[in-house]
Amino acid sequence: MASIYRLGDDGVALLVAQCYQLVDLKDLDIPPSSILKSPSVQTYIYNELFNEGVLSPIIPPETYRLRVLKALISRIEASEDWDPEEDEIIEPLITALTILMSLPKEDSSGIDSPPLLSFVKYTLPSSTRSQTTKSIATSESRGLIYGFGSTGFRTWEAALHLGTYLSCTEDGRALIQGKRVLELGAGTGFVSLLCKRHLGAKSVLMTDGNAKLVDLFNSTCLKENKLADDQDIQGEVWEWGTALAQEDGSDASVERFDVALGADLTYDTSIIPLLTDTVSTLFSSHGVKKFVLSATIRNEETFNAFLAACRDHDFRISKIQYESPSFADQTGFFHDTRTPIWTYTIEPS
């Protein structure tokens, strides 16, 4: 009888966490065959990634799991340690492979088609691996831009960097604990969900200009993160340059917040004036004392244009000296760090 697998520092739990975040196959940290060929490890992997009857609906897409399973089996059987007479791939994994290979291929979304959504589960970074890990789930499509003009159906690197800072540093946690939080351009709502579910925010308002994203957040995402009955978190459509309104359309000019957050909002110089005007409104009309922004620096001139606009508003700006761990050292919120990601605090004068 196979022994019971117990989580350790062998990389198996890390692999599972990466798979739930849909990390590219080439970047997966797959343990060596000497570990994977253990029947107890295979059983654990099956139960965590391929046992659909137990795991649904929070489970990686079928096409992704098929690619992962092929890679795992290939890693095991190609090893010099593999003895086909003594070792075996457990039957549930073989059955899962057969089923996944028999499924029809998913149609790719055309440019004018709505995105194909799937759940993505993000594991919070941790210095240790245990049987219980904290996570949040979003509903995303890993396509980039659709005909209706949104990049918001996926969580981008700057949001994962900001989430790492907020989760893993004393200063970051202090920004959120007990605070009334508003997120600008929230997209999937990853940061908003993190703040309410795990960082102790008093209340959270997720805002985005795309009504489809807000509807998805208020229905599917809140439910899957056990926040559907929490009256202190909701999503609202907010187009920059207009007044913030309540979900029922009534004026929200008296609504107050302590801190505002944003990630990857400065990718286009044409929206910077609206962004800084909106931040100014948060300072003057909604009680916000601090705006924290993370940005992937794909074009330094574009971000410098944002900083210049902040100076034109007489905002006080300060760069937070924090860098995410390199990908190889990350234990959660996995993201590429090769392109610089800067985080700033912006405050009223």
When pLDDT is cut at 50, 70 and 90, the band that residue 113 belongs to is low
Above 70 in pLDDT, residue 127?
no
When pLDDT is cut at 50, 70 and 90, the band that residue 105 belongs to is confident
Instruction: Indicate the residue among 72, 102, 132 that finishes a domain.
Output: 102
Q: Are strands 341-347 and 259-263 parallel, antiparallel or unpaired?
A: unpaired
| End-to-end Cα separation, the chain, in angstroms | 69
Above 80 in pLDDT, residue 93?
yes
Nearest 5°: the CA angle 14, 20, 23 is 75
- Average pLDDT rounded to a whole number, residues 269-296: 96
Which domain does 89 fall in, by range?
12-102
- Specify if 208 maps to a domain: yes
What is the pLDDT at residue 4?
A: 64
Query: Which residues pair with residue 293 across a beta bridge?
Result: 262, 344
Q: Which helix (H) or strand (E) holds 216?
A: helix 211-216
- Close Cβ partners of 223 (under 8 Å, ≥ 6 residues apart): none
CA atoms within 13 A on the CB side of 63: 10
Q: Which range, of 7-11, 13-17, 167-171, 241-245, averages the lowest pLDDT?
A: 7-11
Specify whether 18 is located in the same domain as 50: yes
Specify whether 246 is located in the same domain as 220: yes
Q: What is the number of domains present in the chain?
A: 2
Specify whether 158 is located in the same domain as 98: no
Residue ranges with strand state E in the chain: 118-123, 135-140, 180-184, 203-208, 233-237, 259-263, 290-296, 316-320, 341-347
What is the pLDDT at residue 128?
A: 47
The pTM for the full model equals 0.91
What is the pLDDT at residue 254?
A: 72
Q: Are 170 and 275 in contact (CB under 8 A)?
A: no
Tens-digit pLDDT profile for residues 187-246: 999 999 999 999 999 999 999 999 999 999 999 999 999 999 999 999 999 999 888 876
Above 80 in pLDDT, residue 247?
no
- Cα distance between residue 38 and residue 43, in whole Å: 9
What is the pLDDT at residue 79?
A: 82
Instruction: Indicate the residue among 75, 102, 129 that finishes a domain.
Output: 102
- Cα distance between residue 180 and residue 261, in whole Å: 11
Specify whether 247 is located in the same domain as 271: yes
Specify whether 318 is located in the same domain as 213: yes
Specify the higher pLDDT residue, 151 or 313. 313
Q: Are 334 and 160 in contact (CB under 8 A)?
A: yes
- What angle do helix axes 12-20 and 62-77 make, rounded to 10 degrees? 150
- Average pLDDT rounded to a whole number, residues 98-114: 72
What is the pLDDT at residue 112?
A: 52
Specify whether 205 is located in the same domain as 276: yes
When pLDDT is cut at 50, 70 and 90, the band that residue 85 belongs to is confident
